[in-house]
DNA sequence: GCCAAAGATTGGACTTTGTCTAATCCCCGG
DNA sequence: CCGGGGATTAGACAAAGTCCAATCTTTGGC
């Protein structure tokens, strides 16, 4: 679960991302704890020891990581985007009361009856969100 | 597809909503065109003829309609919430290039292998978003 | 129909999430 | 040990949405 500094450097390099101090800090936060974190949580965590990463860099970096396929976005909360270090196809359980997001392995859930796509269109992904609630 | 004034009044009353002028205008926009509209699009449409509904009222009303089960939210675009006059279980095709949202009837798509829920939890709904793209 | 109370609407200030910009900084290749 | 391209930054900016206190409507009882 915990990555060494040069494992993180290798991970970024593999995705064509130059490893800077800030990017490594952000990657470390994302990959060490395997949770679904929002930008402002990442900003806080990264500056926990001593402040050294700006808000702009956190947003820049998350967008870069996303564009390079290192992480993916999870769109369940209309208020903020969550970032998921797990880019394997999988789905999410969303507790609407607490906001907690839990993974559902892809092979547990099967979807059948996918509609025909308009010609010239390809599927980029299928996201399933199971909204749950207490009671 | 088009509702008369007192059909709309009956619809609101059935959901325990007092029918005011503004609420009827908003309901009319939502139910006459069966699209997935965002708050600011609804604000524009409702004030097309002559301005008479404020931004605050549009947001208040959409939240009220949602809480009363008259409409539902569609969370696919991190930038804004879309409102869906169709509250029957169904799913969505989301064109990530254009932002276009299309319905997928619930019976077309079947999900199997739903995970056990933690005890005391109930499923509020299952949302499937098929993200598509040109090419 | 009339009136008061309860509820709805409003402009505008405010908050939150995220983007942009132009100045500065850093780091790597030659 | 440079020089230059890329990265970082503070802070301004933008968009979506909420909140508030003042005002306006609706409604139910008479
Ligand atoms: Mn550090
Ligand atoms: Mn009108
Ligand atoms: Zn996940
Ligand atoms: Zn729909």
**Residue B123: per-residue pLDDT:** 94
Pick the CATH number of B5-83 from 3.40.50.10800, 3.90.550.10, 1.10.10.10, 3.30.70.270: 1.10.10.10
**Residue A76: per-residue pLDDT:** 97
Local confidence band at A68 (pLDDT 50, 70, 90 cut-offs): very high
For A64, A129, B122, the CA distances from B114, given in Å and listed in that order, are: 33, 11, 12
Three-state DSSP class for B135?
Answer: coil
Average confidence score pLDDT of chain A: 93
* Whether the predicted pLDDT of A115 surpasses 90: no
Q: List the beta bridge partners of residue A94.
A: A101, A131
Q: Which two tokens stand for residue B75?
A: 């969370």
Q: A1-10, A50-59, A125-134: which range is least confident on average?
A: A1-10
Distance A99 CA to ligand 3 centre (A): 13
**Residue A109: per-residue pLDDT:** 85
| Closest-CA residue of chain A to B76 | A75
Local confidence band at A110 (pLDDT 50, 70, 90 cut-offs): confident
Task: Tell me whether residue B81 is exposed, middle or buried, using C-beta atoms within 10 angstroms of its C-beta: 0 to 12, 13 to 18, 19 or more.
Answer: middle
Please name which ligand lies nearest the alpha carbon of A86. Answer: 3
* Whether the predicted pLDDT of A27 surpasses 90: yes
Q: Which two tokens stand for residue B111?
A: 């999900």
For tokens 């926990």, what's the residue? A48
Domain coordinates in residue numbering, chain B: 5-83, 88-135
Q: What mean pLDDT do residues A74-99 have?
A: 96
Q: Which two tokens stand for residue A16?
A: 């064509």
Q: Which residues of chain B have pLDDT under 50?
A: none
- pTM for the model stands at 0.93
How far apart are the CA of B77 and the nearest CA of chain A, in angstroms? 7
Residues 2-41, chain A, CB closer than 7 Å to nucleic strand C: 20-21, 38-40
**Residue B91: per-residue pLDDT:** 96
Q: Residues B43-56: pLDDT tens digits?
A: 999 999 888 899 99
**Residue B133: per-residue pLDDT:** 93
Torsion angle (degrees, nearest 10) of CA A123, A128, A129, A130:
160
Cβ contact A122:A104 at 8 Å: no
């Amino acid at each position: 679960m915990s990555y060494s500094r040069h494992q993180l450097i290798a991970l970024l390099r593999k995705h064509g991302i130059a490893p800077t101090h800030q990017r490594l800090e952000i990657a470390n936060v994302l990959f060490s704890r395997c949770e679904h974190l929002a930008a402002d949580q990442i900003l806080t965590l990264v500056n926990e020891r001593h402040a050294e990463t700006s808000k702009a860099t956190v947003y820049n970096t998350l967008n870069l990581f996303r564009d390079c396929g290192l992480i993916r976005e999870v769109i369940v909360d209309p208020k903020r985007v969550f970032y998921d270090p797990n880019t394997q196809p999988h789905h999410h359980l969303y507790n609407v009361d607490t906001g907690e997001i839990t993974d559902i392995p892809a092979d547990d859930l099967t979807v059948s009856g996918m509609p025909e796509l308009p010609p010239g269109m390809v599927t980029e992904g299928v996201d399933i969100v199971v909204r749950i609630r207490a009671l």
